[in-house]
Amino acid sequence: MTIATPELLERFDVPGPRYTSYPTADRFVEAFDEVAYTQALEQRRMGPAALALPLSLYVHIPFCESLCYYCACNKIITKHHERSAPYLRYLAREIELHVARIGSGVSVSQLHLGGGSPTFLSDDELTELMSMLRRHFNLAPGGEYSIEIDPRTVDEERLKTLARLGFNRLSFGVQDFDPQVQKAVHRTQPAEQVFALVEAARRIGFESINVDLIYGLPRQTPTSFNRTLEQVAELRPDRIALYGYAHLPERFKPQRRIIAIDLPGAGNKVTMLSRALAAFEAAGYVYVGMDHFALPNDSLAVAKRQGRLHRNFQGYSTQPDCDLIGLGVSAIGKVGATYSQNAKTLAEYQDALDHGHLPIARGLAVSRDDLVRRSIIMALMCQGRLQFESIEIAHLIDFRKSFAAELEALRDMQEQGLVELSDTGIEVTSMGWFFVRGVAMVFDRYLQDDRTRARFSKII
């Protein structure tokens, strides 16, 4: 696998969205409220999608026992586990309000518990949550039911409980195995502990095991990260998510505890990325795209080969582009041609539910132009190619006429070997995959309008 040259990185490694949606969540507006969201839910109930398309559910559990300094998630740091019981009661109210609008027993093919740390909940509370979901929704056989795992909060018995509850996919937050790096980010978890848990998960029979890694953390060096890569190759998870750390202390308060001088320089970050890509390729992983890798027989790699890859708020997915209902504080959803996000603070979330309202804080009704551009961006992000004819048929436009300026903007990327343009479409090259977010940004009308990119992490 060829890594991008320093010259290309300097030129094209700019801040940009991760495109888990288009338009991106920073474009949501408060004018989109509970009334607008309720209309979207009721339209779904009355439309053909209610019968033909399953739902995806995301449940946000915000609690964590300790603070990881790199974290940019919406979380509540507490050792008071009694706080989770009231939270479950509010989740129950939110679910009931949804069911009143979309009906009971709607089929669900994908469920993801994220956070925070979902394993902050006790076994009894996780059982209660899953019973609650099964009471109101039909969790379809063969669906993908995943949960994020803090290795410090589980043992083999807890993993068995998760399997009994119906979870078939696990995602372990590892980040780095080096003890000095773990200390610098306030997340100490021995490698032996993770190895034992992954081995146990395999014995229990989970279908897919993911490991999250981060490069660019304080005290990381190419040498230390090499050791982590060797350990990950030995661990051999089914999937790997490799993220570049974005140091934005002005936006994320926990990151202010990181000593900036301990952060690796840009050159070392590129070296770590290069070595990671080489190590994963040597270990037999398929580069799914952007930040995801999978073993060839994993469903994500199979979906990539077969052109069935999709992208949603949890990243790359094998599931069709179905409606997503977000439950819990700050959770994001997508219903029909709308996006929505719940209140970001626990107090606001609970207050809305106390008054019988869905806790929608903001969202967006997607325009026709947004829909066309979303199709283009997702095709590039997921398949690495775009056929003009498919967009023209789906959206009744003349692609080359409608996007003449964008195609001209891609000429420079073509000259640099990142894309190939033809009379029939656009193809992202193997080199261009490193910059696929940058390719997608060319079609982002909102970025074109205001050029405000400082809010995003860099694309490498």
Round to whole Å and give the CA distance between 128 and 126.
Answer: 5
Following DSSP, what letter does each residue of 138-181 receive, concatenated?
A: EEEEEEEEEEEE-GGG--HHHHHHHHHTT--EEEEEEE---HHH
pLDDT by residue (tens digit) across 334-345?
A: 999 999 999 999
State both tokens at 221.
């060096």
Q: Does any domain span residue 335?
A: no
Q: Does any domain span residue 373?
A: yes
Domain end call among 326, 356, 381? 326
State the burial class of residue 363 (Cβ atoms within 10 Å of its Cβ: 0-12, 13-18, 19+).
buried
Mean pLDDT split into 10-residue runs, the chain, 460 residues: 64 78 93 97 79 85 95 92 96 97 92 95 98 96 94 96 97 96 96 98 97 96 97 97 90 92 89 88 89 92 87 79 92 95 97 98 96 94 92 96 96 93 94 86 86 60
List the CATH number of the domain containing 308: 3.80.30.20
Q: Does 443 lie in the same domain as 306?
A: no
Q: Does any domain span residue 268?
A: yes
At 242, which helix (H) or strand (E)? strand 239-244
DSSP, res 219:
T
Q: How many separate domains does the chain show?
A: 2
Q: Does any domain span residue 194?
A: yes
State the burial class of residue 424 (Cβ atoms within 10 Å of its Cβ: 0-12, 13-18, 19+).
exposed
Q: Is the N-terminal amide bond of 116 cis, ω within 30° of 0?
A: yes
- The pTM of the full predicted model, rounded to 2 decimals, is 0.91
Give the domain range for residue 113.
Answer: 23-326
Q: Does 16 lie in the same domain as 75?
A: no
pLDDT by residue (tens digit) across 92-150?
A: 999 999 999 999 999 999 999 999 999 999 999 999 999 999 999 999 998 999 999 99
List the CATH number of the domain containing 7: 1.10.10.920
Distances (CA, A) of 393 to 375, 385, 390, 399: 12, 16, 5, 10
Report whether 95 contacts 129 (CB < 8 A): no
Report whether 25 contacts 341 (CB < 8 A): yes
Q: Is the N-terminal amide bond of 23 cis, ω within 30° of 0?
A: yes
Task: For residue 5, give the 3-state DSSP assignment.
Answer: coil
